[in-house]
Amino acid sequence: MTNTNDKTSPQMTSYKNLFSSRGELNGSTFSMPRIVFLIIFIYVLFFFGWWTYTQYQQMKEVEVLRKELLSKEAAETGDTAKVGFITTNEKYQDIERIASRDRRKVLLGTVSFFLMLVLGLWFVDRGFRREIALANQQRNFLLSITHELKSPIASVRLILETFRKRELNRQQTVRFANGSLKELDRLNQLVNNILLAARVENNNQWSAEKLEMNELIENILSQIRDKYPNVRFSARFDGESNFIVADPTAITTIAFNLLENAVKYSPPDKAEVQIIVRQKRGRVFFKVADKGIGIPDEDKGKIFEKFYRIGSEDTRKTKGTGLGLYIVKQIVRAHNGSIVVRNNTPQGSVFEVTLPVA
């Protein structure tokens, strides 16, 4: 029982405006700060190019003058042999060597300066893009967290008002109470995810216990089947036992997040999720495969970033805050494991977590 009113609240509008100045820059190739920076870059490049050209011309003029002076001195002494073979003169060759060396110095300095300028431009532009991405992620998080908080609160409020205004029979009371508990569980999970994100960022130590993955996943499946009775869950365990050393709460969080993500992005009428646990070469592999909408290749490397969600928060229909996969990645890394996402066949996604064997 959720609030079906999709109108944007004043509070949500204020959250949108909080980062609107940065959010408008998203995807804009010719935003004002970038244009100003490019103008400065072109000006500096043009000025230094003009300075280099001027230095080249001055060195060329100095070289010509020195050669003319040397020729004039040879002519004034009346040494016709020196005048005829002036280019073989040692002083003449010294002038050429010095001029060539100076030209190389200027050229090397110009190339070095140009490369440093381009490298600086790249770093500044990358920082600029990261700042925009962070601002948009924060904006999306504020929008999503506002919706995620308001929806269960509105639902529970509606149910309590119903209790206050109407006389309900036993069956209706149980149904409304179950709806309230479901919304409160959702709210509790949201708060736990936020607290867990803060915990993994602070590098808090996890406990180390010997866990049997087959049994742990079976227990999790029994809970999640009750939560999603319309979803078809199947499990395959290669081997009678697959032991790891890890924090049970952390591994449970990983499994729940991956399974709920698989359900969330699967078709509601034919959701099907497969779990595989196997052991190979001193590692335990835990796979969650769905047949949902899949993940675009350009987003596969971004979905584990904090607050990142595919699409725009203004048009997205799926619930979430962009913290689930970030938490999963941090927990897996803290347990010396790895996580990858691949395309499923014929459609959907496969998340594979690898952890060391106990």
CATH of the domain at 273: 3.30.565.10
The domain containing residue 328 runs over which residues? 209-356
Cβ atoms of residues 350 and 289 within 8 Å: yes
Q: List the one residue out of 334, 341, 337, 335 whose CA is nearest residue 283.
A: 337
Distance CA 241, CA 264 (A): 30
Please indicate, yes or no, whether residues 139 and 79 belong to a single structural domain of this protein.
yes
Please indicate, yes or no, whether residues 100 and 135 belong to a single structural domain of this protein.
yes
Q: For the whole model, what pTM was predicted?
A: 0.58
The region of weakest confidence among 24-38, 60-74, 196-210, 330-344 is: 24-38
Q: Please check the confidence at residue 3 and state whether its pLDDT lies above 60.
A: no
Overall average pLDDT of the 293-299 stretch? 85
Please indicate, yes or no, whether residues 197 and 224 belong to a single structural domain of this protein.
no
Please indicate, yes or no, whether residues 64 and 128 belong to a single structural domain of this protein.
yes
Please indicate, yes or no, whether residues 111 and 214 belong to a single structural domain of this protein.
no
Please indicate, yes or no, whether residues 188 and 229 belong to a single structural domain of this protein.
no
Residue-wise pLDDT for 181-206, tens only, equals 888 887 887 787 777 777 777 766 78
Q: What is the pLDDT of residue 188?
A: 81
Q: 32: burial class by Cβ within 10 Å (0-12, 13-18, 19+)?
A: exposed
Last residue of a domain, one of 203, 219, 248: 203
The whole-angstrom distance between residue 76's C-alpha and the CA centroid of its chain comes to 76
Please indicate, yes or no, whether residues 114 and 60 belong to a single structural domain of this protein.
yes
Q: Which amino acid is at 326?
A: Y
Please indicate, yes or no, whether residues 275 and 190 belong to a single structural domain of this protein.
no
Please indicate, yes or no, whether residues 177 and 93 belong to a single structural domain of this protein.
yes
Distance CA 91, CA 113 (A): 33
**Three-class SS of residue 280?**
strand
Q: Is the dihedral of CA 169, 174, 175, 180 positive or negative?
A: positive
Cβ atoms of residues 12 and 3 within 8 Å: no
Q: Please check the confidence at residue 322 and state whether its pLDDT lies above 80.
A: no
Q: Please check the confidence at residue 351 and state whether its pLDDT lies above 90.
A: yes
Please indicate, yes or no, whether residues 47 and 193 belong to a single structural domain of this protein.
yes
Tell me whether strands 272-280 and 232-237 are parallel, antiparallel or unpaired. Answer: parallel
Last residue of a domain, one of 187, 203, 219: 203
Last residue of a domain, one of 151, 178, 203: 203
Q: What is the pLDDT of residue 339?
A: 92
Please indicate, yes or no, whether residues 220 and 135 belong to a single structural domain of this protein.
no
Please indicate, yes or no, whether residues 156 and 301 belong to a single structural domain of this protein.
no
Q: What is the pLDDT of residue 8?
A: 41
Q: At what angle do helices 324-334 and 248-264 cross, to 10 degrees?
A: 150
Query: How many structural domains compose the chain?
Result: 2
